[in-house]
Structure 1
Amino acid sequence: MSIRVVERPTVHVPPEDDNRVAARVETFLIVAGFAGMLFLLPRLDWGDGSVRYFQLTALLTQGTVSDGKYSMVGPLLSAPLWLIGKLVGSPEWWTLRYNTLLLMGGLAFVWFTLRDRLPRRLLRRFILLLIFASMFAHHQLGYNGETFTAILVLTGTVGLVAGKVRPGWLAIAVGVASTPAALPAMALMTTKWIWDVRRLRWVLAVCSAVALVMVEAWLRRGSPFATGYEADNRGNRTIMPYSGLPGFSYPIFFGILSLVFSFGKGLLFFAPGLFLPVRERLRDLAAGRQLYDLWLAFVIGLLLLYAMYWSWSGSSFWGPRYLLFAAVPAAFALAVRCHRPGDSAVADFITVLALGLSVWAGLNGAVFGDVDVPKVCWPDGGGQYEAPICFYTPEFSALWYPFVVGGKPLSAGQWIYLAYGLAVGAYLLAGPLLRLAGHLRTWADPMMARIATVRW
């Protein structure tokens, strides 16, 4: 006898009371933030992003397909932007805004899909945090592939929870195919989904992502098993004891410690919301709880894999480059704690601390980045002994280096974006700070009254 378990339908919850004035203000902040990203901030045109851009240009102008190691799945979908730019004489300007447009489109999809499944003010806070107070603020400046993967996995998981299961898995598979190293993360997230819905057939989603990776390898390199990383996939030998080894040779224990706690690459500093407990506050929000669990599963999968990679640090790239998706559950956790605060002064203090650090990480990444840091840690381009300084020393972390040297000269657009971002940060922090002040006043009033009774 066979037992057929039907997938659980998504439960629509009535939206909580939403303040119209706050809705208009927050919508304006979101739209203006995207405009600032598009038109005020300079683009990053170096590293892997420039390689991907030249590969796309060669394909569209000469019809040549590169056999390089970087996937062309994401860049191929930016071809319309390149063609528009070619028509108006600026293909680079248009193409280098691809990740910003991906972020805009992805968050628009999140809003319109979840606005009747989660409280709308919670969703707007989540979106504001992803724009201004997350690692996306830096990643959207370039043409690297992490943003494509993160946005497609984000929209795909939202689709799953909203009942659009097949399109959701398709988006996830395409996003992961652009970053084959994310396959284990997808496998772990798929396992969580199968456990929830009791349907083994969704393992086919992982198989489809693997198939896409193998087809691209076959078309570009002549073999479905050729990754492009076979030759000399290692870094320089430095003072670090496990440097210079190839592939996934880094001890996972030290890799996890570094990716979580290091000053220059640690999630604790670049995505502190990831470590805040929120499950109790999501008890009556089934969609939010299910999404949060799926997102955490994906992040754990990424963390476990990249902790073993010889270039776990992402080299000179700003922050924990390969763990961009961690910004999603981190921002959601902060939004939940702001929307549903607890009764504890300690909890409010931790929320304020994590939120303030997240706001600075977002503004630092968007405005300052890490352009000056590599000049110190990689002065000769190789960084024989200096690179670990940027990984582990607070003074040379991309987050704090501007305070050490005074920061690089900023353009007028960067100054405007910084001022606007600080205003948005103050808006996001206002509620938690007022609650914390209320806790302190409750504690201080009896103390002051007792002091007033003291006589000489």
Structure 2
Amino acid sequence: MKKAIARLEIGLIVAGLIAIAVLRPHGLWGDGGVRYTDLTQLLTTGAVPDGKYSMIGPLFSAPLWLAGQFWDVGESWVAHYNDVVFALGLLAFYWLLRDRMPREILRTFLLLLVFASMFAKHLTLYYGEVFTAVLVAVGTIAVVTGRRGGWVAIVTGVANTPASLAGLGFLALRRAWDTRRVWCLAAIFAAGGLVLAEAWIRRGSPFLTGYEGRNQGFDSVMPYSGLPGFSYPLLFGLLSLLLSFGKGLVFFAPGLFLPVRERLKDLPAVGALYGMWLAFTVGLILLYANYWAWSGAHFWGPRYLLFASLPACLVLAVRAHRPYEALLPNVLTLVALALSIWVGVSGAVFGDIAATPAGCRAEGLRYEEALCYYTPEFSALWYPFVAHPTLDAAQVTYLVFGLAVGVFLLARPALVVFREVYGRGLAIVRSR
């Protein structure tokens, strides 16, 4: 029975990756289009573009670009680049952790990443967050499990998103504290040096970021709109990134807010990994809470905080297989898991529809943040219930498949809750 379930879970993981790649449209929109243009310029003319987005991640997609040119399929293969990065990342997760944590928990963790996280939406785009999140995650696992190259992967992933240096700072400090090895902090300088080197090569100075000039949003009804750089009040930024209906992690990565440490006491490697992932996430939150574009604009969900899906899914996987004796913690696990499944399914199916609802727009492409980010009706998670969009066959297929896998994932914690409620109810009846 256990072998059959294991095979089923592995099959669902593979099927989920294929479904996202085949059933959901992929494109080079927004910032992804800029990255593709920079890569094309480099590969066709040899001229190094001076754009503001790092070329580190896109450079790894060069084989797909060249293959696309050879087979005359244009940009379509590059558009699936993040699918490839994510699939290889999952393979690395399994290979590195298969002997460090119970495999049933590991398989559930991978299933959650595919079907019940923000990755499902991000994979359809050529943005840089997937590359950074996967490399940092693989790198931390390698560090914790004593494999070589871990810090190299972390530094490379962070350099692809320079703002994630804040996350690396917290991660390196956490690792140095846990191991009492101060040399871990060298990773901060290595990643910073790589960022400066790229800026020097591309823009002629290590201190030119590419964001010089107008780096601010439109003026709107919001009191701190239209200001440049890191001008957003920290308190309001934290509240928004954590609790807002359209961007808050409490809705998009609810597992992040559930305790799990006592369930990891006999899994030291997983506990260390969770601590490093949580530290990296905290660093990202604190940095982006100050950024004028903390929301990621019209991008579906909290764009810059994709990495939070990793510790959130790890928590849910552990709690699903290691239930508590009390009823309330198990109910919280069930609720958080159900919400996470909707995050993954709705992001894949409705992401393009829900990211920019027409009601959020004022004066063309100028967005009213109060509607887009704070109003429940216009949240990317709930807007499909308001708009009732017409779905095509591919969307219906993925929706049914994703929800079916969701039911499979919910079965174990739901059974635990049912048994507890039934037992308590039976005890009350008998006492009378």
- Normalising by structure 2, what TM-score? 0.97
Instruction: Quote the Cα distance in structure 2 between the aligned partners of 1:83 and 1:377.
Output: 39
Q: 1:66 aligns with which of 49, 56, 63?
A: 49
| Cα pair 2:222 2:369 within 8 Å, conserved | no
Match of 1:434 in 2: 415
Cα offsets for 1:308-353 (capped at 9, x unmatched): 0000000000111101100000000000001111111111111110
Does residue 29 (structure 1) correspond to residue 49 (structure 2)? The answer is no
Relative to structure 2, which stretch is displaced further, 374-383 or 20-29?
374-383
Does residue 212 (structure 1) correspond to residue 194 (structure 2)? The answer is yes
Query: Deviation of residue 372 (structure 1)?
Result: 4.7
| Cα pair 1:41 1:366 within 8 Å, conserved | yes
Instruction: Quote the Cα distance in structure 2 between the aligned partners of 1:95 and 1:263.
Output: 32
| Cα pair 1:378 1:387 within 8 Å, conserved | no
Q: 1:261 aligns with which of 243, 247, 265?
A: 243
Match of 2:406 in 1: 425
Map 1:38-437 to 2 at 5 A. Answer: 38-165=21-148, 167-374=149-356, 375-383=358-366, 386-407=368-389, 409-437=390-418
| Cα pair 1:236 1:382 within 8 Å, conserved | no
Query: Deviation of residue 184 (structure 1)?
Result: 1.3
**Partner amino acid for 2:198?**
E
Instruction: Quote the Cα distance in structure 2 between the aligned partners of 1:425 and 1:419.
Output: 10
Cα offsets for 1:356-380 (capped at 9, x unmatched): 0000000011110043542321354
Instruction: Quote the Cα distance in structure 2 between the aligned partners of 1:137 and 1:185.
Output: 23
Structure 2 unaligned segments of length 5 or more: list them: none
Instruction: Quote the Cα distance in structure 2 between the aligned partners of 1:246 and 1:261.
Output: 23
Match of 1:5 in 2: none
Query: Deviation of residue 160 (structure 1)?
Result: 0.3
Does residue 443 (structure 1) correspond to residue 421 (structure 2)? The answer is no
Instruction: Quote the Cα distance in structure 1 between the aligned partners of 2:370 and 2:48.
Output: 36
Query: Deviation of residue 202 (structure 1)?
Result: 2.0
| Cα pair 2:354 2:381 within 8 Å, conserved | no
Instruction: Quote the Cα distance in structure 2 between the aligned partners of 1:298 and 1:362.
Output: 22
**Partner amino acid for 2:181?**
R
Matched residue pairs, number? 431
| Cα pair 1:249 1:308 within 8 Å, conserved | yes
**Partner amino acid for 2:269?**
A
* Aligned-partner SS, 1:421: helix
**Distance change (3 Å), C-alpha of 1:179 and 1:346:** same
Give the alignment's Cα RMSD to 1 decimal: 1.3
Query: Deviation of residue 151 (structure 1)?
Result: 0.4
| Cα pair 2:13 2:111 within 8 Å, conserved | yes
| Cα pair 2:21 2:80 within 8 Å, conserved | yes
Cα offsets for 1:69-92 (capped at 9, x unmatched): 111110011000111111111131
* Aligned-partner SS, 1:92: coil
Query: Deviation of residue 62 (structure 1)?
Result: 2.3
| Cα pair 1:370 1:398 within 8 Å, conserved | no
**Distance change (3 Å), C-alpha of 1:141 and 1:379:** farther
* Aligned-partner SS, 1:91: coil
Structure 1 unaligned segments of length 5 or more: list them: 1-17, 452-456
* Aligned-partner SS, 2:232: coil
Instruction: Quote the Cα distance in structure 1 between the aligned partners of 2:223 and 2:311.
Output: 33
Instruction: Quote the Cα distance in structure 1 between the aligned partners of 2:332 and 2:353.
Output: 31
Instruction: Quote the Cα distance in structure 1 between the aligned partners of 2:147 and 2:359.
Output: 49
Instruction: Quote the Cα distance in structure 2 between the aligned partners of 1:404 and 1:443.
Output: 38
- Normalising by structure 1, what TM-score? 0.92
**Partner amino acid for 2:345?**
L
Instruction: Quote the Cα distance in structure 2 between the aligned partners of 1:328 and 1:98.
Output: 20
**Partner amino acid for 2:407?**
A
Instruction: Quote the Cα distance in structure 1 between the aligned partners of 2:314 and 2:150.
Output: 19
Instruction: Quote the Cα distance in structure 2 between the aligned partners of 1:106 and 1:204.
Output: 25
| Cα pair 1:96 1:141 within 8 Å, conserved | yes
Q: 2:3 aligns with which of 3, 10, 20?
A: 20
TM superposition outliers: structure 1 runs of 4+ over 4 Å? none
Instruction: Quote the Cα distance in structure 2 between the aligned partners of 1:379 and 1:251.
Output: 24
Instruction: Quote the Cα distance in structure 1 between the aligned partners of 2:341 and 2:364.
Output: 31
User: Matched residues, percent identical?
Assistant: 54
Relative to structure 2, which stretch is displaced further, 65-74 or 151-160?
65-74
| Cα pair 1:83 1:91 within 8 Å, conserved | no
* Aligned-partner SS, 1:182: helix
